[in-house]
Structure 1
Amino acid sequence: MTEASGVITETAGNGGPVRVAVPRTWWQRHGTTTTVWVLRLALIAFVLVLWEIAGERWIDITFTSKPTDIVTRLVEWAADGTLWLHSWITVQEIVYGFLLGAVTGALAGFVLASLNLLYRVLDPFIMALYSIPKVALAPLFIVWFGIGMHMKVLLAAATVFFLVFLNTAAGVRDVDRGLVDAVRLMGGNRWDIARKVVLPASMTGVLTGLKVAIPYALIGAVIGELVASNRGLGYLINDAAAQFDTAGVFATLVVLSVIAAVLNVFVGLIDKRVNKWKPIND
């Protein structure tokens, strides 16, 4: 019998674990999470207040702006529609690029890592392509695809692809060979091994790749907008910087941070759902 996080795990007669809930107070169940969030909010409040005071007394706001000015700029952009128009364009580029890069990266990683010889042949070439700074690809992508949304989507996808591919391949190659041999002894074929062993065991690598790739999807899309665009949050950053509007630059960065946080929450929800198969830890 073991007890962790308010749940007692007992061994049933057939040897399997049985979870028995232990009555706990609200603070026992949510106290740690509440404390963490309170400390986070306190830290944010402290930094914002210090920033506001410093902007009034010690720092030239031409270079750092102030939280109140940033909020004012966000309200102005929201009122005239600027924020929603450019945010929607960037969100589309991020989401489409993330989905395209994630799906192709996961499939390629799963397939190639399952074919050991082919993976060993292609590995140095894949690493060479991965090592190319993605910002260096932007001019080439402009020549190939123009300056429309397609270019930003493909640049974001190219950035995401390698991160998801490498983590997926690592997850596939780290699968416990004992499990594979056990399925073979029970008469399982290659499809059974892939579906019942390799795929579930490699999901940790896939999800790690997805989490790591989220900010890079955003980076890829924004880089494309910074290089050549007249729409999107990257364009807003360029336009604000050209006018020495520091508040506008920071306001755009705040919006990008919110978008990244929302995508991280979404991937976290997928992580919880997919990893339900994992056994209970003693």
Structure 2
Amino acid sequence: MSTMTESTQSPKTGAESRADVVALQRTWWERNGRTTSIWAARIALIVALVAVWQLAAGRLFDASFTSRPTDIWARLVDWNADGTLWMHSWITLQEVVYGYALGSAGGALLGFVLASVPTFYKVLDPFIMALYAIPKVALAPLFIVWFGIEMDMKILLAAVTVFFLVFLNTAAGVREVDRGLIDAVRLMGGGRRDIALKVVLPASMTGMLTGLKVAIPYALIGAVIGELVASNRGLGYLISNSAATFDTAGVFATLVVLSVIAAILNFLVGLLDHRVSRWKPAEART
């Protein structure tokens, strides 16, 4: 009887272990097939839209109003050759990055601090929402009076635009923290510092990261609005100048560049989100 027990509990042989490992291995398509299919569908959609646009321009609608993908590409090549693209893109990129960083830092910090004091947050809530409701384009003339037409004005306009989005999402994340977790930390002898750093801060990261993602295009909007209102540099100026000369290819070319900048910034925030959210289940991070 003991012999039978020992034989049933004996470790697997090397061949059996290797067989189990092989059985658990997945093919490349099983691991990456879904992502590959999604990207293939995206590329196919873009190619189809560009092809329809190219064929329809001049046939179904006036190309002077919509331009053509080939004309837009030619404009980008010309601007790249003479340095126009890089000079104006660098100006706008600085305004967007500095404004985004300033607005995000202020929004996340104040959102975390104020929402951690519920009574104080309720007192300020109607005033914050009133300021949030002000169209940011209406602030541009006032910012010109206060800060002039240099880069500082565009940075601050982008920062104000980003601030409220990050603030409100961070505050929402703080206010939605599970009270059971807070009570558990208190029962284990934790103080306010432990609750803030070990419970509230990690739990509020989801809201803050949502605000950071949503705020990316708004940082671009703030900077470009400032350039449209008063500037002789930047991508907003390129849009304004191209529209004034009825150069629709130039307008669309600038919009393409702005879309690329937004995509790159969104990708970087996505990397941050993935790194910070490693503690979540895989389903919650998809």
Partner of 1:131: 133
Q: Distance in 1 between matches of 2:77 and 2:91?
A: 19
> How much does 1:117 deviate?
1.1
1:116 and 2:118 equivalent? yes
Opposite residue 155 of structure 1, the aligned amino acid is L
> How much does 1:281 deviate?
6.1
Partner of 1:197: 199
Q: What's the TM-score, normalizing by structure 1?
A: 0.91
**Residues 39-118 of structure 1 mapped to structure 2, 5 A cutoff:** 39-118=41-120
Q: Does the residue aligned with 1:56 lie in a helix, a strand or coil? A: coil
Q: Distance in 2 between matches of 1:65 and 1:36?
A: 29
Partner of 2:260: 258
Partner of 1:156: 158
- How big is each residue's C-alpha offset from its partner over 1:99-121, in whole Å with a ceiling of 9 and x where there is no partner? 00000000000000001111010
Opposite residue 152 of structure 2, the aligned amino acid is H
Q: 1:185 aligns with which of 163, 166, 187?
A: 187
**Larger displacement relative to structure 2 (36-45 or 222-231):** 36-45
Q: Does the residue aligned with 2:233 lie in a helix, a strand or coil? A: coil
Q: Distance in 2 between matches of 1:182 and 1:281?
A: 26
Q: Distance in 2 between matches of 1:170 and 1:77?
A: 44
Opposite residue 102 of structure 1, the aligned amino acid is S
Q: Does the residue aligned with 2:232 lie in a helix, a strand or coil? A: coil
Opposite residue 51 of structure 2, the aligned amino acid is V
Opposite residue 130 of structure 1, the aligned amino acid is Y
- How big is each residue's C-alpha offset from its partner over 1:144-167, in whole Å with a ceiling of 9 and x where there is no partner? 000000000000000000000000
Partner of 2:16: none
Opposite residue 152 of structure 1, the aligned amino acid is K
Partner of 1:26: 28
Q: Does the residue aligned with 2:190 lie in a helix, a strand or coil? A: coil
Stretches of structure 2 that go unaligned for 5 or more consecutive residues are 1-20
Q: Distance in 1 between matches of 2:38 and 2:272?
A: 23
> How much does 1:279 deviate?
4.7
Q: Distance in 2 between matches of 1:39 and 1:33?
A: 10
- How big is each residue's C-alpha offset from its partner over 1:153-199, in whole Å with a ceiling of 9 and x where there is no partner? 00000000000000000000000000000000000000000000000
> How much does 1:22 deviate?
3.4
Q: Distance in 1 between matches of 2:228 and 2:58?
A: 31
Q: Does the residue aligned with 1:27 lie in a helix, a strand or coil? A: helix
Partner of 1:236: 238
Q: How many residues align?
A: 263
Q: 1:281 to 1:93 in 2, by over 3 A?
A: closer
- How big is each residue's C-alpha offset from its partner over 1:227-246, in whole Å with a ceiling of 9 and x where there is no partner? 00000000000000000000
Partner of 1:17: none
Q: Distance in 2 between matches of 1:60 and 1:103?
A: 46
> How much does 1:58 deviate?
1.9
Q: Does the residue aligned with 1:154 lie in a helix, a strand or coil? A: helix
1:248 and 2:277 equivalent? no
Q: What's the TM-score, normalizing by structure 2?
A: 0.90
> How much does 1:57 deviate?
1.7
Opposite residue 185 of structure 1, the aligned amino acid is L
Partner of 2:148: 146
The percentage of aligned residue pairs carrying the same residue is 74
Q: 2:273 aligns with which of 271, 274, 281?
A: 271
Whichever structure has more strand as a proportion of its residues is 1
Higher CA-based Rg: 2
Q: Distance in 2 between matches of 1:280 and 1:180?
A: 25
Q: Distance in 2 between matches of 1:35 and 1:168?
A: 34
- How big is each residue's C-alpha offset from its partner over 1:49-72, in whole Å with a ceiling of 9 and x where there is no partner? 110011132211110000000000
- How big is each residue's C-alpha offset from its partner over 1:23-62, in whole Å with a ceiling of 9 and x where there is no partner? 1000001111111111111111111011001113221111
Q: Does the residue aligned with 2:57 lie in a helix, a strand or coil? A: helix
